[in-house]
Structure 1
């Protein structure tokens, strides 16, 4: 009892409430990040914090000081590392009114509602992984993320897939030895709908003259729809995306991931 009093903790309802809220928030954060790329980083940071409280309780001043400085400096690193996750969190927080049935507070106290975003996050992670590998191998690709089930394309020349979204499947489709590597891959919902799809080519005279057919097709499919088209250049291994008839070239995987969050998460709000 003396130790708890020394460190400012007492067995009263306010301290119990304080500890319960902290435990609850950590559990929700764990459930939100589970299965994402940031999960291992989250576990590592949690271990550092637990080590800090342990050495502080044991009265080890040197380690306490070192870990305290690490935590203070690490706050900036956390903001950088968790930028997509923080952005998704703020999108959920900002887009919902406090008292609506889909409000942030409703989601917070009903953690199962976060499952609706886990599916989108899985799609994003699989596509990002595939795009990164394709770019590293100088393998061209054109991926269309359809935000509506009314996406229109030429079904006569395409090959129906109706498969689960996975990085390995996407990479195998665009492999240079694959008969499906020409044309576009269409993703609708949580499925790869079709491959080898011929898309309309944009005739926008303002597009750069050096871009190829994949980039012009990416712009063409987004000129009259709200789809997102992702392009990997076979020649330059660069990554681009098209949206609303505009082409954004030479983006990083992190920038593409943020754009996909905007389309798949923020776009649903």
Structure 2
């Protein structure tokens, strides 16, 4: 069997074809990952630069080839900096698919029995849903971040450390309009409230509905860069929404929210 393909006077090995197919596959996956974000335009610009580079090399234009080659060499570092949030999101998605992730068969098979008691998780879920329901009924705005795999990075100088058990009454008091802590987000890590009045990154996703405010955009922003769940109560409409993996799900019922929290905090290790 021949391992060389002849095409218009040029010879290609099967590995060259496989190499090309893999590059096309990666470009398509990058397109799907970046579509709808501002980084997508940068991605298109980089594709144009690479296309021009290969064209001038094919046409044997040495000056332009050298200039573009130097630009590409330096551009690798710039790409890592510019696409840091997208790279982080890609690695988070990839980590969920590994054999040792919390949803994998191996983790479920060898998880010790002592970790299969979910009384604390159920208490946290009930307290959060109760607080969110009361806040929504009274049109009190709120933003609660449920950290799952690791602690959320935030500016500790601008936030207030709480380190308390999760309590519906405490959550409601924090977000009362007269409370000095009601602005910003509340961070829940494990079974404890870690901090309040936390400033989060705001999403620049142009596909978000124009009617959503700063809380909703902050919820999407933090989930674009981390593996967490963000719960939002709208002050204007008294509705409940949540964001995960950069996607906003709006106008959910307390029962839907409880089901989502069970899926996140309980079923993931069931």
TM-score of Structure 1 vs Structure 2, range by shorter chain: 0.5 to 0.7
How much has 1:149 moved relative to structure 2?
A: 2.9
* Aligned counterparts of 1:185 and 1:124: Cα–Cα separation in 2: 15
- SS state at 2:149 partner: coil
Q: Secondary structure at the match of 2:219?
A: helix
What residue number does 1:155 align with?
A: 156
- Which sections of structure 1, spanning at least 5 residues, go unmatched? 1-93
TM-score, normalization by structure 1: 0.59
Q: Which residue of 2 aligns with 1:199?
A: 200
Residues 1:127 and 2:137 aligned together: no
Greater share of strand residues, 1 or 2? 2
- Identify the residue that residue 236 of structure 1 maps to in structure 2: 237
Query: Structure 2: how far apart are the matches of 1:149 and 1:179?
Result: 27
Which residue pairs with 2:175 in the alignment? Answer: 174
Deviation at 1:148, TM superposition (A): 2.5
Following TM superposition, by how much is the alpha carbon of 1:113 offset from its aligned partner in structure 2, in angstroms?
5.6
C-alpha contact 1:138 1:236 (8 A) present in aligned 2: yes
Aligned to 2:264: 263
Alignment of 1:135-150 (within 5 A): 135-150=136-151
Sort the Cα spacing of 1:178 and 1:95 in 2 relative to 1 into closer, same or farther, 3 A: same
- TM-superposed CA distance for 1:227, in Å, is 0.3
Residues 148, 188 of structure 1: 8 Å contact kept: no
RMSD of the TM alignment (CA)? Answer: 2.0
C-alpha contact 2:223 2:243 (8 A) present in aligned 1: yes
Q: Are the equivalent residues in 2 in contact too, given 1:144–1:185 (CA < 8 A)?
A: yes
Residue 96 of structure 1 deviates from its aligned partner by 6.2
Give TM-score scaled by structure 2 length: 0.58
